[in-house]
Structure formats: C-alpha cells, structure tokens
Chains A and B, each alone.
Chain A
Amino acid sequence: MRTFAVLWRREVAALFSSPIAYVVIAVFLFIMGYSFTLKLFITHSQTLVDLFFQMFVLILLTVPIITMRLVAEENKLGTLEVLLTSPVTEPQIILAKFAASLTLVTLMLGLSIIYAGVLELYGDPDWGPIFSGYLGLFLFATSLVGAGLFSSTLTNNQIIAAVLSLSLFLLLWIIDEVAALLPSPLNDVVLHLSLSGHFKPFATGSLYLSDVAFFLSAAFLTLFLSIRALSWR
C-alpha cells in the first residue's frame, strides 16, 4: 500500500508539473461556466441535466489528453524500465497511474459542483438527479481513464495513444445511431455498448445497476488488459 501511495503521489505530481492539467481544468470550467450561466439566465431552469451531457462530451474529449502520456512517455524515456527493475509490481504501477488520472478528473468534476451550489443558493433544485448525474460522470470517467491508460500501454507515441483512445470513445459515443441499421440481435449488442445510452439514465435521475455494472466492468477489463500489456515484454 505504501508503494502504491508513493507511485500515486509521483503520478499526480507529474500531471500537475505539466501545463496539460491546468489547461484541461481551465478549459473545462470556462466552457461549463459559460454554458451554465447562459442556461440559467435564459431558461431559469433549476436542473443540471443539460450541463451533465456537456460534461460527458468534454470528459470524452479530455481524458485521452490526460491518459496519453501515462505509459507511452515512460516507455519512450526509459523510466519504465527503471521502475520495472525496482521491487514494484505491474498492478501497483497501473493502479497508481489510473488513480492519479482519475484524481484529476474528479477534481474537475468536484470544482463544477459550484454550479449546483449556485442553484441551491438561489433556488430549490432536486438533488436526486444531481447526485446521480455526478455518480454517472464519475463512473463514465472511470471506464474512459481505464481505456485511455490501456491505449497508452500499446505504444511509445503519446499522439498515437491519444488518437487510439479518442477514436474508440467517439465510436462508442455514436454507436447507438449505427445500431438501428443493423439486424437483430446484433443491433441489441451494439446498443449495449453505447456510452451515451448508459449515461442518459444517470443524467436524468434514474439509477440502473446494469449501467453501473457496464462502466465498472469496462474499467476492470481495461485495467486488467493494461496490466497484461505491461507484463508482456
């Protein structure tokens, strides 16, 4: 556990030593702030549903930028070899990288709670959909960070890692539109892979175990694959 904590601290320090973390947070908060303000003044609505869908898209676009360097950069620089010749295990390394990236995404989401605070201050929002929306975004981010980390284990090139994960995310985002064109039962299978399909219930205040299981399974699967990819050398 101590080794994991040491590795996690180094990963967080590495994330915040580069401008990427600050730029990602700033852009995320700027766009969300603009969107929230505009929506509030035009519709006087007391929900964050629309904001959650926008956060969904922004997380989908920023996670590849956060995760692209995780293993690819270390592999290229040779620091991964130093790490793997020290008494640390592959699961410790992968879980520390995963937890550090998730820390950054959670911080982004955490800072956006201020919008819910504003609604509470000037109105009477329904907190159920707000809680479920944030839970959905967190679980969604968990699966995306896992997949981004896995793509970073497949190459030494950060750009290729980012393109790989972004392509996968975009495909799984729009895949439900393709599903309608496919014959049964293939359309059902494809529909169940849709990221937005599993996120929608969370954003609108519904909580289904199948959606929770989908995101958690995706995270576990990609973490397992990342550990295997790191061990296979």
Chain B
Amino acid sequence: MSKVIVAENLVKRYGPRLALRDVSFSIEEGEIVGLLGPNGSGKSSIFRILTGYLTPTAGTVTVAGNDVFRDSLALRRQVGYVHENAPLYDHMRVVEYLRFMAQIKGVKPRQVENAIASVIDRLRLDKVCDLLTTKLSRGYRQRVAIAQALLNDPQILVLDEPTSGLDPSQVVSIRDFILSLAGHHTVLIASHVLSEIEQIATRVMILLDGTLLTQDALKLHRATQELSIRVAGAENDVKALVSQIGGVQAIDTLQEGGDLRRYIVKAAWRPKLTEEIASTIVGNGFALSELTPITRGLEQIFLDLTNQAREVTA
C-alpha cells in the first residue's frame, strides 16, 4: 500500500494562536482514518490544509503526490471535501447544484450527466433531485454534500462531522455508505461520536490542542485485553492453568466466595483468546459459570490520552 497523504511537522498559526504544533502523520491508500479531538483541537485546520483551502505556516504536506504549496489545484482535483454544515447554494435545485459542482470539478462535458446519475443513485437522492436545496431536510443536505464530493471520483475523501445533526436512522445510512467507500477511496473523517468512529475507521488519530497524541488509538485499544471469569475450583489450580495459556500476562482473584471465585485475566491481544481460555478451563474439568470481556473502549483511551497530555502541559 502506498501513502496517499503525508504530513510532516505541520504548524498552523492564526495570529498569536498556535492551532497546530508540529503535527506529522501519514495515511495509506484505501484506509478509513478517524480524526478525534475536542472542539478547537485543530481538526478543521488539518482538514483545510489537506483540501488546499489553507496553507500551513510551516511543514510540508503531500496529498496524492501533490504538494500543498506548489500543486494546490492538482491536489484539489484528488480530494472530495464534505463541510461540516453541508453548505449548498439556496437558489439551485439539487440536480442543478450537482451539475454546477461536476463542471467546476472538471468532469468532462460528456460524462457530467452520467456522474450525476451515479451519485444520485448511490446516495439515493432520486426523490429530491428536482427540489430546491432550501427544501431539503438535514439528512438530505448531508447526502447532497457527500454526493458533490464524489462527482469526480476523487482518490481521497475528507468528511468533517458527516453525521452531526442527523437522526439515528440517517446516521446508520450515512455510516453504511462511508463503509461502502472502503477500498475505493481513502477516507479521512472527523467526528465527536467516538462509538461511531470506532465502527467506521480502520485507524483513529487523536488530536488535542494542536498536538497529535496518537496515530493509532485503535492499536492501543487492541494491544491488551481483560477478561472477567468465574470458575469453581481450587484457586491455585485455576490460576496455574490459565497462566499457561499463550498471551496471558496476569490473573488476579477479584472475588472470594467459597469454591466459586471471580478472576481478572490480563492478556496481550490476539484473536480467539477468549474461546481458548473457555475451552482450556472446561476441558480440564473446571466449571466455568461466566466469561466476560472487559474492553477498554476508545472513549476511555481518548480520555486517558487527553488527560495525560493535559497533566504534562499543566
């Protein structure tokens, strides 16, 4: 896989305020990367730099091989951008707006109508394509904004809070659509809804006060796992048995209760570990009455990392 976005030592300053501090990251082709961060953390600055709207104060950015300073126009041909508020021209009908955007994005005249038909079909806009954009619901406005970004089939899609203000069914439909883009486009998506990012993204970056805390929060999320098990049997025998399983780092007794005890197992993440622990315990004649994975959610990782960073700067 080749790197389609490479940002090195990005700095963005608005007057005296430093919005980005030495931010470096890269994104590979076909990835869906989430960008998390509280309001004012610098997410929009990164997005605006990647889409050619802003230039960084210092640092370098290449998007699909195009330098943000030297090849801004070529860069913008490769990036589809969905603005947080889905701004549309009020005096236009949906199909007129899509035609206008296709034309300014350089879609060849003969292919304009096909490109419009394709995005109308993919985003299910057929019922609203003759409506004025002012008559659209929030969900449809968002879909039209995504549709315009796809018109010239860009290599990269940058989506700023694409589900904000949508009802749950609209959120699911937009999320499913973004998932369907995997493999065809490289997607960079910002969202405040951590659970949503967790479901969509293959990698999550966390940004705080203009500093990139991690390029892969999901890796941290998946690095270790904890399980709560409830087993009947001699404590030492149970501990010795579980400790032998590959990847298990520690087992602690959490709850005493006669012969039935609750243990917390800490292990390095690997697939099917839960099934292996269960079969080992049961296979050795112990009665397993409960096995519950304790996940350290993305939310917890986000809070831990942001708290750590704030403690360091305090």
- Type the 1/0 row for B83-100, where 1 means its CB is closer than 8 Å to any CB of A: 101011101100000001
The reply to whether the CB of B302 lies closer than 8 angstroms to some CB of chain A is: no
Q: Roughly how many angstroms separate A13 CA and B97 CA in the complex, as a whole number?
A: 12
**Chain A residue, CB-CB nearest to B101:** A86
Shortest CB distance B139–A (Å) = 18
Q: What does DSSP make chain A's interface, helix, strand, loop or mixed?
A: helix
**Chain A residue, CB-CB nearest to B54:** A233
Contact A86 to B100, CB < 8 A, known contacts A79-B89, A233-B53: no
Of A2-10, A111-119, A216-224, the one contacting chain B is A2-10
The reply to whether the CB of A81 lies closer than 8 angstroms to some CB of chain B is: yes
B77 touches A87 (CB 8 A): yes
A85 touches B100 (CB 8 A): no
The reply to whether the CB of B60 lies closer than 8 angstroms to some CB of chain A is: no
The reply to whether the CB of A180 lies closer than 8 angstroms to some CB of chain B is: no
Which residues of chain A come closer than 8 Å to B101, judged between CB atoms?
86
The reply to whether the CB of A186 lies closer than 8 angstroms to some CB of chain B is: no
Q: How many chain-B residues does the 8 Å CB contact rule pick out?
A: 25
Shortest CB distance B51–A (Å) = 4
B91 touches A85 (CB 8 A): no
Q: Roughly how many angstroms separate A151 CA and B53 CA in the complex, as a whole number?
A: 21
Shortest CB distance B153–A (Å) = 13
Contact A17 to B54, CB < 8 A, known contacts A87-B105, A87-B106: no
Residues of A within 8 A of B (CB): 2-3, 6-7, 10, 13-14, 17-18, 77-79, 81-89, 233
Residues of B within 8 A of A (CB): 48, 51-54, 73-74, 76-77, 79, 81, 83, 85, 87-89, 91-92, 100-101, 103-106, 148
Q: Can you report 19 residue pairs joining A to B where beta carbons are below 8 Å apart?
A: A3-B104, A6-B100, A6-B104, A13-B92, A18-B91, A77-B87, A78-B83, A79-B87, A81-B87, A82-B87, A82-B148, A84-B52, A85-B51, A85-B52, A85-B76, A86-B101, A87-B74, A87-B77, A89-B73
